[in-house]
Amino acid sequence: MPLRVWSLAFFLVAIFSPVSAVAQSSVDKPDPPAVDISLVPRVVSNSGSKILWEDPQFFSSPYGRPLTMSLDGENFFLRVSVTVFPQDSRYLLVVQQEVVGKKDGHGHMKTSVQSLLCTPGDRLVFYPFGRDDLKNNQELLLEIMVQPHDKSH
């Protein structure tokens, strides 16, 4: 009887251990959020004094996890990824951009990566197509603000 008990127990161990490990690995346990990020895309007049359109988005995210905003425009498709890393008492913000132009059915792609050190609460503005566009009265910008995560949210 002891041999049968050990044999069956060993068999169950061989079954249970891989199954539990696979089950646990398949359930992606999220990291706790570390920062609250607000991403506000805006279309403003050239002077910036008038907001023609905006669509605020708010996120809570852990460090190092990219937040992506896809903006679908009339003649372009824009994808902006914002990733926050801790840097001493400040934040290192990394912004990646991919622009695909829609022109006559053909698309051309443009990418860029930028980074900036900021303190919590700083107001950052990202201009995907640059500033001072005198030919167009409208500007697209993405206002970014990073603050420590508020657990009450």
> By CB under 8 A, is residue 66 in contact with other proteins?
yes
Q: Which residue has the tokens 């197509």?
A: 129
Examine residue 120 and tell whether it contacts other proteins (CB under 8 A).
Answer: no
User: Residue 34 interacts with other proteins (CB under 8 A)?
Assistant: no
Q: How far apart are CA 13 and CA 57, in angstroms?
A: 48
Selected binder of other proteins within 36, 38, 46, 71 (CB under 8 A): 71
> Between 100 and 119, how does the x/- string for binding to other proteins read (CB under 8 A)?
-x------x-x-xxxxx-x-
- Which CA distances in Å does 103 have to 88, 115, 128, 142? 45, 30, 18, 23
Q: Which of 35, 91, 126, 146 binds other proteins (CB under 8 A)?
A: 126
**CB within 8 Å of 60: residues ≥ 6 apart:** 33, 35, 36, 37, 149, 153
Residue placing its CB nearer to other proteins in the complex, 120 or 148: 120
Whether 44 and 50 have beta carbons less than 8 Å apart is answered as yes
| Residue 85 Cβ vs other proteins, minimum distance, rounded to whole Å | 12
Q: Which H or E run includes 20?
A: helix 2-26
> Applying CB under 8 A, does 139 fall inside the site for other proteins?
yes
CB of 37 to other proteins, least distance (A): 9
